[in-house]
Amino acid sequence: MKEQTLAIIKPDGVARKLIGAVISKMETQGLTIKAMKLIRMTKEQAKGFYKVHEGKPFFESLTDFMSSGPCVVMVLEGEDAISRYRKLMGATDYRKAEPGTIRREYATDIEKNVVHGSDSPESAAFEIGYFFNALEIVTY
């Protein structure tokens, strides 16, 4: 089934000039970019985005990190895009990620793990709507 998912190249990925490498992997895996922009979240915006993790021990540090510099936010589309892109990202902890995945190749830390991806249709709908309005998602 054709789906859309929300992807982020996190501040570590942008700072380390990994935008091109990450997008290249996305395109090679059959994902099409339907929307994309460079943004910098405030701490409050990062907290709103990650509100499902509120109360967890890593929440403060994660939202500091996500607001520490620019991110690239994207809407990706493809067959089973949510699971396809989760597979391409690899496990949250890069040490457990499969070879060839973005996190295994590029992440340096369980927190600074280069990319984000929605984990369900419900989270994709919330996360896409958090950053993009309908006019910004291109139909082609």
Q: Give CA angle at 87 (14, 80), nearest 5°.
A: 105
Find the part of the chain contacting ligand IDP (CB under 6 A) among 15-23, 37-45, 113-121, 132-140: 113-121
Backbone angles phi, psi at 67, to 5 degrees: -105, 10
111 binds ligand IDP (CB under 6 A): yes
Contact 61, 18 (CB under 8 A): no
58 binds ligand IDP (CB under 6 A): yes
Which tokens go with 64? 């500091």
Tell me which of 46, 113, 114, 124 binds ligand IDP, using CB under 6 A: 113
**Where are the strands (E) in the chain, listed by range?**
2-9, 32-39, 71-79, 115-117
Scanning residues 6 to 45, which ones bind ligand IDP (CB under 6 A)?
A: none
Catalytic residue check, 116: yes
Which of 105, 102, 20, 15 has the alpha carbon at shortest distance from 65? 15
92 binds ligand IDP (CB under 6 A): yes
Q: Which residues are catalytic?
A: 116
Q: Interface residues with Mg ion (CB under 5 A)? A: 119
Q: Interface residues with ligand IDP (CB under 6 A)? A: 53, 58, 62, 92, 110-111, 113, 116, 119
